[in-house]
A and B are shown apart, each in its own frame.
Chain A
Amino acid sequence: MASATLPSATLSSPTNLLPTRTVLFLRYLRRNKSLLIGLLLLLFLIAFTLSGFVTLDLKQAYPLTVKTKQPPSAEFLLGTDFFGRNLHAAMVVGLWQTALIGVLAGAIGTLIGVVLGFTSAYFGGFLDTAIKGFCQILTPIPVFLIQVIIAGSIDKRDVTIYTMAFIVLLLAWMGPTLIVRSQVLTMKERQFVSVAKLSGVGDLGIIFGEILPNLLPFIAAAFVTQVFAAVFASFYLAVLGLGPLREPLLGNTIWAAQTQSAFFNGWWWWPFAPAIALVLILGSLALVNMGLDELANPRIRRTE
């Protein structure tokens, strides 16, 4: 009797106790603190931007729309600047534009990197040598300086958010290519790939069925790294005055505040708001990246 009831008990109780995927994910987040805090920060930034889109008049992100040089108040939450922009609206538009540049350059750069990394590592040959050589030569050259040359060669009146994304994208594929390449190189020697090969799976089947799924955490981490790098690069370019000057991109606002000596004139809120916004963006991306690293490479957990 006992042997007959036991299986039914073990069968029925797990279905009640088995946690759903969401619960499992939330439990994982409780262990992976940096991923949790990073995602919460990102959610906060998204909520701030979306609420701004709904409640604010976004025309006020552009010059000569509101009273100038107002400190933060109930009417202008983050104050207004020398050119008559509502900084709250400028932050909302700036966050959206910064995110656009980051995600565009990050996504396309990672995609190109995955394709190049796979072909380079899996098929080897001339392409592998060319990509490796190209990356080796460019490694000692600071990427930012190449971006300065490119951005400096474009007429400032032509620079838009998409030009910025393109400038950042031009070299954004290098990092992901090298990461994917090295991972594929180790992975294609693993036994499960040999087994798949022996059982007659084609190249595409091995790439998409065997290697790619195992690489997803690495690719996700590379994507977040690239978004971080793109936000960082576009910020630095804008701070040097190479950004799209008419747009309230976060770096541009800081550049404008600097050229008008905002601190010296006592308009402290002007550079302060975009600086805090950038700290939150870059901080959340760095935390998410650390969390994904841990997901991709559980051995890092030892360092906790």
Chain B
Amino acid sequence: MTIMFIVRRFLFLILVIWSASTITFFIPRISSRNPIRERFAALARTGGFSPQDMEAIVASYNTKFGLDKPLMEQYFAYIASVARFDMGVSLNKFPRTVMQLIGDSLPWTISLLLVTTILSFVIGNLLGAIAAWPRAPQWVRTVATPFVLLQGFPPVLMGILLLFFIGYRLKLAPLGSAYSTGVIPNWSDWSFLLDVLHHQLLPGLALILGSVGGWVLSMRGMGITIQGEDYVNYAEHKGLSNYVIFRDYYLRNALLPQVTGVALALGSVVTSGIVVESQFGLPGLGRVLQEAISSNDFMVIYGVVLFITIAVATLMVFVELLYPLLDPRIRQD
């Protein structure tokens, strides 16, 4: 039964990826823009080659990428190339492929998002659980509750406020970029690592503060439901200590549904991550996307979007598969 469930989820994942590729293939073709022609028109203005030459170059490019073939043929070729993880080449940084650009920037994005998501999950759920726990000290509950107000607060706005107060006024953190200018990246050098961490401080803080409120809110609601359950009452009557009840009976059971919350939050985590990266000029996927947008590098825009979509959908399915392992009561069949 479990095997069947896993197989079904993977078929669903393939369906999602296929839909996403179809969207990224057809939407750009509905509009009248021709990326290659626009690119060469821009080059022609600066470089000054004649219109005839340009037509010839465009035609040769169209043949090279198969853009003169019928639409359905192009579509099947596109789906086949997506299946090979080939997202095409950048129009702006020509010899480089989209996957190379993604590969260069991905470690930055993954490390930033992984750390901030784990931190905000842990902090948010602890605060939410404490805010709803009637036997928690009053001051802890008073501290925890205002975090609910941060729910739905866009990390980008948080980033601007942090940049203003911490970066600009107090001068405690740099105003952007991945490391100090003039420094040569050297990952075995401790001072360079510290410099990078210093530059990740504000974007990381913005992402944590922007997502922690949602966890506090949902965990608080969950905690209120759990503390009325019979097994919590039973644990109390057995005379277990407050700490044990909190940890083993209350927190553990309240946490389970929150794991599903991680899967649902992935989309907004990645979205915010991209925008915050472009805001702080970090060399992650966000800046690749923003540079592509500002230079009309369509292949990169579509490639990056499709890549992120596939990544998010895959992660979501994996978190879903994890869930029955965490909660044996759930046999998803």
A residues with a Cβ closer than 8 A to B are 137-138, 140-146, 148-150, 152-155, 228, 232, 235-236, 239-242, 254, 258, 261, 263-264, 266, 268, 271-272, 275, 278-279, 282-283, 286, 302-303
Contacts and interface: CB of A to CB of B under 8 A. Distances in A.
Q: Which of A142, A263, A275, A282 has the most CB of B within 10 A?
A: A142
A286 B161 CA distance: 19
A271 B160 contact: yes
Contact of A145 (B149, B161, B271, B294): B271
Contacts of A138: 19
A279 B153 contact: yes
Nearest to A143: B267
A240 B290 contact: yes
Chain B contact-residue range equals 35 or more
A148 B164 contact: no
Contacts of A137: 15-16, 19
29 contacts: A138-B19, A140-B16, A140-B316, A141-B309, A141-B313, A142-B267, A142-B271, A145-B305, A145-B309, A146-B23, A148-B293, A149-B24, A149-B302, A152-B301, A153-B298, A155-B32, A236-B154, A240-B289, A254-B160, A258-B279, A263-B164, A271-B160, A271-B164, A279-B157, A279-B161, A283-B153, A303-B132, A303-B221, A303-B224
Interface string B262-299: 00000110110011001100000000011001100010
B175 interface: yes
A275 B278 contact: no
Contacts of B31: 153-155
Interface of B: 15-16, 19-20, 23-24, 27-28, 30-33, 132, 149, 151-154, 156-157, 160-161, 163-164, 167-168, 175-176, 220-221, 224, 267-268, 270-271, 274-275, 278-279, 289-290, 293-294, 298, 301-302, 305, 308-309, 312-313, 316-317
Nearest to B151: A286
Given A240-B275, A263-B168, A264-B176, A142 B153 contact: no
Contact of A141 (B32, B221, B224, B312): B312
A282 B33 contact: no
Nearest to A303: B224
Q: Is the interface of B mostly helix, strand, loop or mixed?
A: helix
Contact of B313 (A140, A232, A236, A278): A140
Contacts of A141: 16, 19-20, 23, 267, 309, 312-313
Nearest to B16: A140
A242 B301 CA distance: 12
Given A140-B313, A144-B271, 19 more contacts: A140-B312, A141-B16, A141-B312, A142-B268, A142-B271, A145-B271, A148-B305, A149-B23, A149-B27, A152-B298, A153-B33, A153-B298, A240-B274, A254-B156, A261-B175, A263-B167, A264-B175, A271-B163, A279-B161
